A and B are shown apart, each in its own frame.
Chain A
């Protein structure tokens, strides 16, 4: 099988052809948003980070922004910086290494928001015009990386949508493609199963390490994690413990060996199934998948999570019949738990849909424009 995507200088292939307007710090996000509103063809990445954070978190934020800029769905990138948050050269260099166009506008140096907006629009317009000349080409589906996430989960996620998505991952990986999933809290109680599937003992140890690291954060706060994860909504829907949620969650990655574990904001190397460390909370979890280089995201939901992502199409899958009925404007694919189709058959259908989306078909979230309000996860506090 194949899909039609936009070729990039580094050999990757995009499912979309946006110019990314990326804010480098929370205080620059408004100007970045204005530029995107002014220049059709741009996609916004705004967030609440990038200042008042200790070195490891600042490095994480810059790494994540550089990786987001490298995502194949972006033809070019305009960074919007305030100025006083520090130099953003490392982000520029990280993106430039992918061979795509990258530029910046610095609000405090431009003479304020209005002039930064005018300058930013001028730069973004040129990038959009250049991007518009790029044509889709047919490429092998081995060039695809699917990001996998579940959100607003209920017990149908573990019974239907997650195992079907997992089957789609298995099929793609067998063809030479890649998949990546995260949500480290939702490995608690299931990490031993994932570690058994690690491609090497070192990867297995890393899986146990990221889960233990995440659990210690809850222990350090002296609280029962329940209510946060599983969320109140998860519990109302019937999920009792993080262990139960995790066992239902990890099947969304399929059954193939785990080839590597990325830190948040890192991009995996090679092909196959990968894990990225990070939270379950949606605006931050999906960012990690986009930063990893996913061109399409498969998102399983029980209760009905409507949110997409600015420049990576998010395909929503549910196995809850009520959710499918009531929230059909948000759901792209329905998995019938009571039906005769096997998870493998459903996985094949899901992958067909993913390839159509990778070739340009719009998702429900894209058609609604329900795609903004993203963020970056950080391990420490803000000072």
Chain B
């Protein structure tokens, strides 16, 4: 069976879609041989990310086992995770650093 999405590291709280996925779809994935299933809340285009767990506002978003930004809102499992609910913490001249 074709994989619909991939989790790259066991520390990750997001997965990457390997196809255009519809809201309501149940996506089954594997991470370190353990199965995980997530029901999508939003449509997830190819290459985009969705949440695997409840992510609180201001907490880190993890992909490749590393921090790729922080949540700017509470995120539920199966929600689209992108620029509308994640802020980069690097190169942010707009934050008066």
Contacts and interface: CB of A to CB of B under 8 A. Distances in A.
Contacts of A229: 91
Nearest to A221: B93
B47 A189 contact: no
A297 to B, nearest CB: 24
Nearest to A215: B91
B43 interface: no
A179 to B, nearest CB: 21
Interface stretch (B25-33, B34-42, B51-59, B61-69): B61-69
A185 interface: yes
A141 interface: no
Interface size class of A (residues with CB under 8 A): 35 or more
Contact of A185 (B66, B82, B91): B91
Contacts of A159: 6, 8, 16
Contact of B90 (A225, A240, A337): A225
B90 A243 contact: yes
A253 B16 CA distance: 22
Interface string A216-232: 00111111111001000
Contact of A243 (B17, B47, B68, B81): B68
Nearest to B95: A224
A188 interface: yes
Contacts of B48: 155, 238
Nearest to B67: A243
A159 B64 CA distance: 10
A237 B47 contact: yes
B11 interface: no
A265 B56 CA distance: 45
A245 B96 CA distance: 23
Contact of B88 (A221, A226, A237): A226
